[in-house]
Amino acid sequence: MLKFLTIESTCDETAAAVISEDLQVLGEVVASQETLHRRFRGVVPEVAARQHVQTILPVIDLALRKSKCTPDELAAVAVANTPGLAGSLLIGLCAAKSLAWAWNLPLIAINHLHAHVYACRVAAGVEVFPCVGFIVSGGHSNFYRCDDPLTFQYLGGTIDDAAGEAFDKVAAMLGLDFPGGPAISRAAVHGDPQAYQYPRPFTHRDDPLKFSFSGLKTAVRYSLYGQGRPVVDPTQLSPQQVADVAASFQQAAVDCLVSKCRQAIEQTGLQTLCVGGGVAANRLFRAQLQQAMQEVGATLWIAPPELCTDNAVMGAIAIEKYRAGRFESLDLDIYPGLER
Ligand code: KG4
Ligand code: ZN
Taking the chain (340 residues) in runs of 10, the rounded mean pLDDT of each run is 97 97 98 92 94 98 98 98 97 98 98 97 97 95 97 96 96 93 97 97 90 96 84 87 98 98 97 97 97 98 94 98 98 83
The pLDDT assigned to 340 comes to 52
Which residues keep their CB under 5 angstroms from ion ligand 2? 137, 310
Same domain, 141 and 109: no
Structural domain total, the chain = 2
Helix (H) or strand (E) holding 28: strand 25-32
Residue at 334 is within a domain: no
Residue at 9 is within a domain: yes
This prediction has a pTM of: 0.94
CA distance 189 to 285: 14
Helix (H) or strand (E) holding 64: helix 45-67
Q: Which of 119, 120, 101 is nearest to 110 (CA)?
A: 119
152 C-alpha to ligand 1 centroid (Å): 22
Same domain, 112 and 136: no
Same domain, 300 and 319: no
106 C-alpha to ligand 2 centroid (Å): 24
The SS3 assignment for 69 reads: coil
Helix (H) or strand (E) holding 296: helix 283-296
Same domain, 107 and 131: no
CA distance 33 to 242: 26
| Phi, psi for residue 6 in degrees, rounded to 5 | -115, 140
Same domain, 106 and 224: no
Residue at 339 is within a domain: no
The closest-lying atom of ligand 1 relative to the alpha carbon of residue 277 is 1
Same domain, 176 and 287: yes
The closest-lying atom of ligand 1 relative to the alpha carbon of residue 140 is 7
181 C-alpha to ligand 1 centroid (Å): 6
Residue at 332 is within a domain: no
Task: Determine which residue's CA is closest to atom 8 belonging to ligand 1.
Answer: 278
Same domain, 166 and 92: no
The domain of 72 spans 3-117+310-324
Residues 6 or more apart whose Cβ sits within 8 Å of residue 280: 134, 136, 286, 302, 303, 308
**For residue 78, what are the β-bridge partners?**
6, 108
Helix (H) or strand (E) holding 157: strand 151-158
Residue at 225 is within a domain: yes
Same domain, 98 and 15: yes
Residue at 333 is within a domain: no
Same domain, 145 and 272: yes
- Going from the C-alpha of 269 to that of each of 56, 132, 251, the distances in angstroms are 42, 9, 27
Same domain, 93 and 156: no
The pLDDT assigned to 339 comes to 57
Residue at 113 is within a domain: yes
Q: Are 100 and 93 in contact (CB under 8 A)?
A: no
Q: β-pairing, 107-111 with 131-136?
A: unpaired
The angle formed by the CA atoms of residues 61, 302 and 277, to the nearest 5 degrees, is 60
| Phi, psi for residue 153 in degrees, rounded to 5 | -115, 120
282 C-alpha to ligand 1 centroid (Å): 8
The closest-lying atom of ligand 1 relative to the alpha carbon of residue 12 is 4
CATH code, 240: 3.30.420.40
Same domain, 294 and 152: yes
The SS3 assignment for 35 reads: helix
User: Strands across the sheet with 74-82, in order?
Assistant: 25-32, 13-20, 3-8, 74-82, 107-111
Same domain, 32 and 50: yes
67 C-alpha to ligand 1 centroid (Å): 28
Task: Determine which residue's CA is closest to atom 19 belonging to ligand 1.
Answer: 181
Task: Determine which residue's CA is closest to atom 7 belonging to ligand 1.
Answer: 138
Q: What ligand is nearest to the CA atom of residue 169?
A: 1
The pLDDT assigned to 227 comes to 84
Residue at 285 is within a domain: yes
